């Protein structure tokens, strides 16, 4: 289904609320201090402020923190195109770390490449941001599964 067809079924405000509500239920995002900054059909951005607890031995953001927000940004990008009453699960993802992740914060960007009935493919990017400088530190690809008729709720 194309982005336009999904938007016709559910307006952008409802999609954003559904995504933000789901994000707010993620304990790991809350624990890391990540925030959802952009929610658009097929694209989501997540910001993670620098904290010493998120670093590895050289003082860079740890790859675990970097890939976690990348996976989550992609997952929610796909979720923006899923029908109401469904939920999302990551099937697999691959990330290449291409530069040291150092800065004031990280910004993960998830973009849908192809949204299918069951499987959705997303492109992932993570940038390290310091002052006005934005450096691409990770790129990846992800496959998501739409869990039809399985609402995105705890329980």
Q: Domains in the chain, please, with CATH?
A: 3-147 (3.10.129.10)
Give the largest CA-CA distance in the chain: 48
DSSP-assigned beta bridge partners for residue 140? 95, 124
Instruction: Give ∠ CA 138-143-149 in degrees, rounded to 5.
Output: 135
Q: What is the pLDDT of residue 1?
A: 40
Name the strands in the sheet holding 87-97, side by side, starting at the edge strand that comes first in the sequence: 35-40, 43-49, 105-115, 119-130, 133-147, 87-97
Share of the chain above pLDDT 70, in %: 92
**pLDDT band with cut points at 50, 70 and 90 for residue 153:** confident
What are 80-132's pLDDT values in tens digits? Answer: 999 999 999 999 999 999 999 999 999 999 999 999 999 999 999 999 999 98
**pLDDT (mean) for 27-32:** 96
* Contact criterion met (CB below 8 Å) for 151 and 88: no
Average pLDDT score over the chain: 92
Share of the chain above pLDDT 90, in %: 85
């Amino acid at each position: 289904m194309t982005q336009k067809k999904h938007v016709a079924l559910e307006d952008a405000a409802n999609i954003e609320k559904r995504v933000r509500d789901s994000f707010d239920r993620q304990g790991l995002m809350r624990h890391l201090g990540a925030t959802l900054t952009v929610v658009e059909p097929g694209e989501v951005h997540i910001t993670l402020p620098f904290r010493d607890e998120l670093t590895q031995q050289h003082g860079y953001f740890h790859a675990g923190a970097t890939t976690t927000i990348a996976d989550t940004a992609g997952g929610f990008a796909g979720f923006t195109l899923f029908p109401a009453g469904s939920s999302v699960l990551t099937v697999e993802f691959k990330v290449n770390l291409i530069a040291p992740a150092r800065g004031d914060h990280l910004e993960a960007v998830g973009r849908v490449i192809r949204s299918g009935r069951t499987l959705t493919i997303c492109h992932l990017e993570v940038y390290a941001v310091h002052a006005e400088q934005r450096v691409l530190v990770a790129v990846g690809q992800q496959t998501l599964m739409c869990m039809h008729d399985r609402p995105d709720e705890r329980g």
